[in-house]
Chains A and B, each alone.
Chain A
Amino acid sequence: MNQGIQTSHAVVAEGLGKQYGEQWALRDFQLAVPTGSVLGLLGHNGAGKTTAIRILTTLVAPTTGTAKVAGHDVVAEPDRVREQIGLTSQAATVDGLMTGAANLEMIGRLYHLPRKVAQARAAELLAELRLEDAGDRLVKDYSGGMRRRLDLAASLVASPPVLFLDEPTTGLDPESRNELWDLLRQLVGGGTTLILTTQYLEEADQLADDVVLLDHGKIVATGSPEQLKARYGGERVVVTVAADDELGAAAEALEKVAAGTAEIDREGLFVAAPASESTRLIEVVRALEEGGVDAHDVRRREATLDDVFFSLTSPRARVASTHATKDSDREEATA
Chain B
Amino acid sequence: MNANAISTPTALPRVPAGPARLRWLAVDAWVLAKRQFAHIRQIPEKLFDVTLQPLMFVLLFAFVFGGVIAVPGGGDYHEYLIGGILVQTLAFGMMGPGVSIATDLGEGIIDRFSSLPMSRPAYLIGHLTAEFCATVLAVTIMVISGLIVGWGISSTPLEALACFGLLFLIAIAMIWLGTLVGVLARSPDGVQGIAFVAVFPLTFVANTFVPVGGLPDGLRQVAEYNPISAWAAAVRTLFGNPTAIPSGSAWPLEHSVIASVAWCVAILAIVVPLTVRAYRRRTTG
User: Which residues in A have some Cβ–Cβ distance to B below 8 Å?
Assistant: 54, 57-61, 79-80, 82-83, 85-87, 89-95, 97-98, 102, 106-107, 109-113, 117, 121, 124-125, 127-128, 138, 154, 156-159, 161, 183, 186-187, 189-192
Contacts and interface: CB of A to CB of B under 8 A. Distances in A.
9 contacts: A58-B114, A82-B115, A87-B111, A93-B112, A95-B109, A110-B28, A113-B10, A127-B2, A158-B12
Interface residues of B, number: 38
Contact of A91 (B43, B111, B284): B111
Nearest to A102: B38
Contacts of B109: 92-95
Contacts of A113: 10, 12-13
Sort A-B residue pairs by CB-CB distance and give the 5 closest, nearest first.
A190-B7, A91-B108, A93-B112, A82-B117, A93-B108
Given A83-B14, A97-B43, A159-B9, A109 B31 contact: yes
Contacts of B285: 60
B31 A183 contact: no
A186 B112 contact: no
Interface string B103-135: 000011101111111100000000000000000
Contacts of A90: 108
Given A91-B108, A107-B116, A112-B27, A187 B42 contact: no
B116 A190 contact: no
Nearest to A188: B7
Contacts, number: 120
Contacts of A89: 108, 111-112
B interface: dominant SS: helix
B186 interface: no
Contact of A192 (B7, B15, B117, B118): B7
Contacts of A91: 107-108, 111
B204 interface: no
B35 A112 contact: no
Contact of A107 (B3, B6, B34, B112): B112
Nearest to B41: A97
B284 A187 contact: no
Nearest to B9: A159
A94 B110 CA distance: 9
A110 B118 contact: yes
Interface in B34-80: 34-35, 38-39, 42-43
A128 B6 contact: yes
Contacts of A80: 15
B146 to A, nearest CB: 33
B167 to A, nearest CB: 29
A60 B283 CA distance: 8
